[in-house]
Chain A
Amino acid sequence: MTTTGLAKTGMIDFRGVNKWFGSLNVLKDITLSVEPREVVVVCGPSGSGKSTLIRCVNGLEAIKNGDLVVDGQRLGDPATNMTQLRTEIGFVFQSFNLYPHKTALENVTLAPIHVRKIPRAEAEKAGRELLAKVGLADKVNAYPAQLSGGQQQRVAIARCLGMRPKIMLFDEPTSALDPEMISEVLDVMVAVAEEGMTMMVVTHEMGFARKVAQRVVFMDAGAIVESGTPDEFFSHPKTDRSRAFLSKILRH
């Protein structure tokens, strides 16, 4: 079980990770390594454990056993400062989770100012640039309630980028959006990926996967069933379960 002496490989390293919710084995013996600058798309049916998988990476969920090493630090190790590690990991939620009492700019600058201790003026300058980058230069002073879902999710991505993270995790970032807003969010995610961000993305957006992902991981019932390049996976799925899953999401 110990990792000492093992050469560290990936930016995110799952080795034999298990997790239970009560008696439900939600992650079964997960072994997965994500290299720096790699984009990995995680897909699978509802309840397959894909959200839980990425929520373990920044410790929103704790693992039961196995090893999970992120940016060279072992989770659950007393020597690992989780608060510090989390500043290096951006997390984009399905439901955005913007702070409703803060403007778009304040959402982006809150953690840089208070956690990273960046001077306010500098953080605001960077925040404005990030909001411009996600196409929301004119919404700097808007409150989340005044923004559409797609706009809120773009603010949420800018909020993560404001921390200058090494890793970005996306938990179904477009699932709560109206169809016409999905592409504006995906465009921003593609731009982030092209800048060389290490990313794990839970999504069923195949266009996105084909465009930027190096690897697609298919999960079912808590286990990784198949993993391969987007082209291999979407065109030549190897298992019955992935074929059944793809036939359902591709039919429409």
Chain B
Amino acid sequence: MLENFSFRTIVEYLPLFGQGLITTVWLSALSFVGALIVGIVLCAMNLQRGWLFRVPAKAYIDAVRATPLLAQLYFLYFGLPRLGFVLPELVVGILALSLNSGAYIAEIIRAGILSIPRGQVEASVASGMTYVQRMRLVVLPQAFKVTIPPLLGQAIVLVKDSALLSLISVAELTRAGQLLASDRFMPAEGFLTIAAFYLLLYYGLKGLAGVSSRWLGTAGART
């Protein structure tokens, strides 16, 4: 059985996998930056007292979290052109991942900010700090530390979600596996190889999480 497994074909296709890997890395990185921006804006809206910003932000977050990413992606890819917006598939892909992940990141940041004990806000209010000063000097530095691990978790999810972009013919890692599977009828080789590459990316991000938490741990974060 295993003698049918062709390492030679994998090696032959390595340049293709390499290109796919590189594409997955940079489009995930770009999407994550986009998602951070979307998340910060949504979270700021969601924390407002007035309903004008809060209600749309909540509705958006609910809509994204309640619907499959694939449906969102297909809406942007097939639906938007019918409405008059034609965008390249790469742009659609990055947009979809940013808009999707941003909703989750908004909730991660919100949880981080709300996890800061009320006494911290009261102490800074009592010392005469303005809203901006207490966010900048007291709340956000502490929220940042608790937010880093779940944010890296979300980054890992985003990298795996980027596999869906193969369905709108973006030449990323999963697409490379599909090509090997269909060109040579070697799905085992194709998909096992991309799985190995995703695992590699996972350990890379996990290492990053470990480094950052050690770095933050020495900055006096213990309470």
Contacts and interface: CB of A to CB of B under 8 A. Distances in A.
The contact size tier of chain B is 20 to 34
Contacts of A89: 126
Interface stretch (B11-19, B86-94, B128-136, B207-215): B128-136
Nearest to B118: A97
A210 interface: no
A60 B221 CA distance: 27
A163 B220 contact: no
Interface stretch (A80-88, A132-140, A215-223): A80-88
Interface in A128-168: 143-145, 159-160, 163
Given A60-B122, A97-B119, A99-B123, A111 B222 contact: no
A110 interface: yes
B125 interface: yes
Q: Is the interface of B mostly helix, strand, loop or mixed?
A: helix
Given A101-B141, A101-B142, A86 B220 contact: no
Contacts of B142: 99-101
A144 B120 CA distance: 13
Nearest to B144: A101
A218 B93 CA distance: 68
A22 to B, nearest CB: 19
B205 to A, nearest CB: 25
Contact of B119 (A95, A110, A145): A95
A190 interface: no
A242 interface: no
Nearest to B222: A145
Contacts of B120: 97, 99
Given A60-B122, A97-B120, A97-B123, A145 B223 contact: yes
Contacts of B117: 97
B108 to A, nearest CB: 19
B21 to A, nearest CB: 38
Interface string A56-81: 00101000000000000000000000
Nearest to A169: B126
A86 B141 contact: no
A159 B138 CA distance: 14
Interface string B141-180: 1100100000000000000000000000000000000000
28 contacts: A60-B122, A60-B125, A83-B128, A83-B129, A86-B125, A86-B126, A89-B126, A91-B122, A91-B126, A95-B119, A97-B119, A97-B120, A99-B142, A101-B142, A101-B145, A101-B219, A101-B220, A110-B127, A111-B128, A111-B129, A114-B129, A114-B133, A143-B220, A143-B222, A145-B220, A145-B222, A159-B127, A163-B128
Given A97-B117, A97-B120, A97-B122, 17 more contacts: A58-B126, A86-B127, A86-B128, A90-B126, A91-B123, A91-B126, A95-B119, A99-B124, A100-B221, A100-B222, A101-B220, A110-B127, A110-B137, A111-B127, A114-B133, A143-B220, A145-B220
Interface of B: 117, 119-120, 122-130, 133, 137-138, 141-142, 145, 219-223
